[in-house]
Amino acid sequence: MNDPTQLKSYTPEALRERFRRDGLPAYRADQVLAWIYQRGVEDFAAMTDLGLALREQLEASWRTRALEIESVQRSTDGTVKAVLLASDGAAIESVLIPEPGRNTLCVSTQVGCPLDCSFCATGALGFTRNLGVAEIVDQVCRMRELLDPGQALTNVVFMGMGEPLLNLPAVLDAIRVLVHPKGMAMAPRRITVSTAGVVPRIRPLLAAAPVNLAVSLHAATDEVRDQLVPLNRRFPLAQLMGALRDDDLITPRRPVFFEYTLIEGVNDSPEDARRLGPLLRGIPSKLNVIPMNPHPDSSYRAPSDAVIDRFTAEVHGQGIRVTLRRSRGRDIDAACGQLRARGAGPGGSVSL
Ligand code: SF4
């Protein structure tokens, strides 16, 4: 939801402009942003370098929190999943993945998702609405509070609930807050946006923000991809891969990260692996193979370890840079394709 009184819905430039229009010096906006994003203080009363009258004025006009944490689950592998509630009661999920030397946060961009990928628990929920900028940014603020003392967030991936490119303006403004020196000052290359393949919005994303692009591929033929990612009927493989191949913003220094969920008997054959060579040829890229994470709404299963190993070896033999990604947080349904916060559900629609 876009709420004009919600401070986190403004990029730093927009907040300075808004303060000027309200008759306040622009540097006051910088001071407030430093408290919120750099020091993690959201209560105006605690912003001690602002005068008392100004603190009271800000308190009366602005809100600084868009989400509240409803529940937190911790996996045996250290992964943390939280259900976050928006002011209208909508529930979304964010997942924190601590690893040695890095702490990655997976954020949601929509309540539910309209794309209905057949292996995904979020898709099974249907779509309710887009998240507003503040609701995306606040996932980062709330979730970093769950880090162990002394730890900092290092990476953000837009791979939670929803298709980010169907909410592109809000995603771009949220990225602007994350990377701005007066915002969270993150390096853009530490941010990854994932898409199921909304072809016309890939170039605008790449041109607007120097972030990483991930593409949910999951199949090497239209026949199988139509089943797994129904968006493929709208933007088939030839169109998707052609757009990526032709995009001069995709380079060896800025490759595409293809995601391939490996599903027993569906897309795990040696022929599938061999088809990936010609499909990815000419696109600077890496392929992440992720064995299917089961969930109750799906009969799909991961292949055996032997099949997974044979598949990745065959892909590697095609000259593709491939990584096998073992899932994190499966015991708390926090792995890819398992997010399904209650509160999402049929009701909304978005246009492509
Ligand atoms: S995989 Fe991503 S795009 Fe597909 S339904 Fe799930 S959340 Fe939506």
**Domains of the chain with CATH codes:** 7-61 (1.10.150.530), 67-332 (3.20.20.70)
101-117 per-residue burial string, b: 16 or more CB within 10 A, e: under 16:
eebbbbbbbbbbbbbbb
Instruction: Check pLDDT > 50 for residue 302.
Output: yes
Instruction: Give dist(CA 307, CA 318) in Å, integer.
Output: 17
3-state secondary structure of 9: helix
Instruction: Give dist(CA 191, CA 299) in Å, integer.
Output: 32
What is residue 345's predicted lDDT score, i.e. its pLDDT? Answer: 43
341 vs 108: which has the higher pLDDT: 108
Instruction: Check pLDDT > 90 for residue 16.
Output: yes
Closest atom of ligand 1 to CA, residue 119: 1
Instruction: Check pLDDT > 70 for residue 352.
Output: no
Measured in Å, residue 326 CA sits from the centre of ligand 1 at: 19
The CB of 115 under 6 Å from ligand 1? The reply is yes
The model's pLDDT over 136-180, given as tens digits with 9 standing for 90+, comes to 999 999 999 999 999 999 999 999 999 999 999 999 999 999 999
The string of DSSP letters for 59-97 reads HHH-B---EEEEEEEE-TTS-EEEEEEETTS-EEEEEEE
The CB of 161 under 6 Å from ligand 1? The reply is yes
93 given a catalytic annotation = yes
Measured in Å, residue 113 CA sits from the centre of ligand 1 at: 6
What is residue 329's predicted lDDT score, i.e. its pLDDT? Answer: 76
- Chain-centroid distance of CA 337 in Å reads 12
The model's pLDDT over 232-287, given as tens digits with 9 standing for 90+, comes to 999 999 999 999 999 999 999 999 999 999 999 999 999 999 999 999 999 999 99
Catalytic residue among 42, 93, 163, 259: 93
* Tokens representing residue 224 in the block: 């199988």
Q: Name the pLDDT band for 336 (thresholds 50, 70, 90).
A: low
Nearest CA to ligand 1 atom 4: 117
The string of DSSP letters for 155-182 reads EEEE-SSS-GGGGHHHHHHHHHHHHSTT
Share of the chain above pLDDT 70, in %: 96
Nearest CA to ligand 1 atom 3: 163
The CB of 297 under 6 Å from ligand 1? The reply is no
Give burial (CB, 10 Å; 0-12/13-18/19+) of 233: exposed
Closest atom of ligand 1 to CA, residue 163: 3
Residue from 117, 118, 161 to probe ligand 1 pocket by mutation (most atoms less than 8 Å from CB): 117
The model's pLDDT over 309-319, given as tens digits with 9 standing for 90+, comes to 999 999 999 99
- The CB density around residue 346, as the number of other CB atoms within 10 Å, is 11
Instruction: Give dist(CA 209, CA 189) in Å, integer.
Output: 10
Q: Name the pLDDT band for 333 (thresholds 50, 70, 90).
A: confident
The CB of 196 under 6 Å from ligand 1? The reply is yes
Measured in Å, residue 258 CA sits from the centre of ligand 1 at: 14
Instruction: Give dist(CA 319, CA 247) in Å, integer.
Output: 21
The string of DSSP letters for 114-158 reads SS--TT-HHHHH-EEEEPPHHHHHHHHHHHHTTSPTT----EEEE
What is residue 340's predicted lDDT score, i.e. its pLDDT? Answer: 75
Instruction: Check pLDDT > 80 for residue 215.
Output: yes
Instruction: Give dist(CA 156, CA 102) in Å, integer.
Output: 11
